[in-house]
Structure 1
Amino acid sequence: MRKWHRWISVFFGVFLLWIAVTGTLSQVVPLLSGGDGDRPAKTMADATPAKPAFVCPPDYMCRPKPKGGKSIVGLLHHLHSGESFGPVGVLISTLSGFAMIFFSFSGLWMYIQMWRNRKDRNLKPGWFWN
């Protein structure tokens, strides 16, 4: 089990770090930006412009460009999920998710084995040791 744990971590360590950093940033950026994008207009003049700057053609679905923290969160989501790098990025992101599951279970399994080994050799009991 340790051999697999070691070799898989060599490859996926960089991707798991990438996923952890972009996921953390996608949660922190909205907190720091203050969520300005969802505030309603303050006056009636701001709510209804006299002439729209752009009219969406009937065959298209147009969306306004997000402002402030929302556009950064969207970018971070695409980086986090691997969508920015195409199908290969999504595949690597998905495999990295499976690697995280494997590391969780294999790390727990190795800890239990070490704990049992120490117990069988009548060494210092406890959950943590040096």
Structure 2
Amino acid sequence: MRKWHRWLSVFFGVFLFWIAATGLLSQAADLWPSAEPTTAEQLAPAPPAAFVCPKGWRCRPPEATTGFASLKGFFHHLHSGEEFGLPGVIISILSGLALAFFSLSGLWMYIRMWSNRRSKKLNGGMFWK
């Protein structure tokens, strides 16, 4: 198991870092304050003349984003691999599966090491030096 863990981590480590970085940028773009506070009414074009808002609805144009926050969609496409077409999406899916494998195999290796130390009656408890 360690051999697979080690060799897969060499390949997928780069992609997992990419996914982590673009995910962080996507979330940061959401939280980033816009440079100039504007309302949607100021930035949105006027609705078509034939448009009538249905009774009981509040019809508003979507909020326009400016600055760093406008890059959220781009970061999401990088994060999901969509920006690179089908190969990017496949690598993104495989990276997600690799992350699940690393989590489970790492836990499995830790439990095996812990049980080996416990059977040999070595000190250290759950976290040894």
Query: Structure 1 length normalisation: TM-score?
Result: 0.75
Partner AA of 1:31 in structure 2? L
Deviations 1:37-68 (A, max 9, x none): 89443xxxx48868x9xxxxxxxxxx997533
Using the alignment, how far apart are the partners of 1:79 and 1:49 within structure 2? 29
Give the CA RMSD over aligned residues.
3.0
Cα contact 1:22–1:79 (8 A) shared by 2? yes
Equivalent residues in 2 for 1:33-112, closer than 5 Å: 33=33, 39-41=39-41, 46=42, 67-112=66-111
Partner AA of 1:78 in structure 2? H
Using the alignment, how far apart are the partners of 1:23 and 1:49 within structure 2? 31
Structure 1 runs (4+) deviating above 6 angstroms are 35-38, 47-50
2:6 counterpart of 1:6:
yes
| Percent identity between the two aligned chains | 57
Cα contact 1:37–1:70 (8 A) shared by 2? no
Name the counterpart of 2:31: 31
Structure 2 unaligned segments of length 5 or more: list them: 49-61
Number of residues of Structure 1 aligned to a counterpart in Structure 2: 115
